[in-house]
Homo-oligomer: A and B are copies of this chain.
Amino acid sequence: VDRVASLSAADESSLSFLANPIFRRELAKTRAGVVVLAPEYVDECPVDCLICANPYATFARIAAMLHPRARRAPGIDATAAVAPDATVAATAFVGAQATIGARAALGERVEIGAGSVVADDAKIGEDTRLAERVVICSGVEVGRRCTIHPGAVIGADGFGFAQDEREGWVKIPQIGGVSIGDDVEIGANTTIDRGTIEDTVIEAGVKLDNLVQIAHNVRIGEHTIMAAMSGAAGSTTIGKRCMIGGGAVLINHISVCDDVMFLFRSVVTKSVDKLGVYSGVLPAEEAGQWRRNAARFRQLDGFAERLRRAERELRALAGKGAS
């Protein structure tokens, strides 16, 4: 095999996989060269298979070997603007129209995509890749082996204003930074604000999807993952290995412990100190209960009618009882 493909599109030279049982029907018909799957599906596989405990992760590793990302050859494009006192490793690549600010530092094998900006005093760790048109604001520190997708903005001012009778809003200077750990991935057009006084912190292994908003002074624990359009308001602390669903938001300066999952579009308004799956709003609640309540919501208009009728009948009965 020399490439990966879906079960249905695979041919003899393709490797495919079965990780989600909803694709089981396609397994019986596949013409893949090899299928990566868990032991329980071996009998259903019409072709060669590679049996393992975690087929999705195994597939991921094989796919990365079959389809390695092309590395940019080291060097600085002639159209890039690199400050004379910036430090750029000899093995780093700086793309067309990129800007590297004063005293910024790019580690070994760093890749800076076309049009990206690494502002003054920012530091980019070894093997990290900024895609096209990323902005790393001044003083931000990014770890090693990170991937930052186009349009992401790391280190803009946090949203802090004091209300004042005379002047409207007085800006609170945002003098903290942003610290991004190793092996972090940050999606397209996602925004991570710098801290007010101390740093906003994204720990190692965190994965953020597109259009995510991380406000000032947030701390996100190792290996936590946040899906698209989710957000953490100012001073939220999120534990390790949490999973935040699409569009879910955490507000009110709360803390969330390790290993918590919030379903899509949850609004989390109170701290959570017990691992589990949560959903809904004000505050998020255990997911099973929320699903039942949400299902009942669809019957709400009917309930109102039934309640009114029950009350009427009660009055009638009470009238009889009183008579």
Contacts and interface: CB of A to CB of B under 8 A. Distances in A.
Given A151-B153, A303-B304, A171 B64 contact: yes
Contact of A198 (B6, B61, B264, B295): B6
A88 interface: no
A117 interface: yes
B101 A81 contact: no
Contacts of A251: 246, 264
Nearest to A226: B159
A24 interface: no
Interface in A137-185: 137, 147, 149-151, 153, 156-157, 159, 161-165, 167-173, 175, 183, 185
From A188, A197, A282, A313, residue with most partner B Cβ within 10 Å: A188
Given A5-B197, A211-B213, A247-B249, A156 B164 contact: no
Contact of A56 (B119, B133, B162): B162
What range describes how many residues of A lie at the interface? 35 or more
Contacts of A281: 265, 294, 297
Contacts of A313: 314, 318
Contacts of A306: 307, 311
A126 to B, nearest CB: 17
A215 B191 CA distance: 18
A258 interface: no
Contacts of A4: 173, 175, 197
Contacts of A310: 307, 310-311, 314
A177 B104 CA distance: 33
Interface string A291-310: 11111111111011011001
Contact of A298 (B132, B293, B298): B293
Contact of A299 (B137, B193, B233, B304): B304
A-B interface, 7 closest residue pairs, ranked by CB to CB distance from nearest: A81-B96, A56-B162, A292-B301, A168-B223, A57-B162, A156-B188, A99-B114
Interface of A: 4-6, 9, 19, 22, 54, 56-57, 59-61, 63-64, 67, 69, 77-79, 81, 95-99, 101, 113-115, 117, 119, 131-133, 135, 137, 147, 149-151, 153, 156-157, 159, 161-165, 167-173, 175, 183, 185, 187-189, 191, 193, 197-198, 205, 207, 209-211, 213, 215, 222-223, 225, 227-229, 231, 233, 241, 246-247, 249, 251, 253, 264-265, 267, 280-282, 285, 289-301, 303-304, 306-307, 310-311, 313-314, 317-318, 320-321
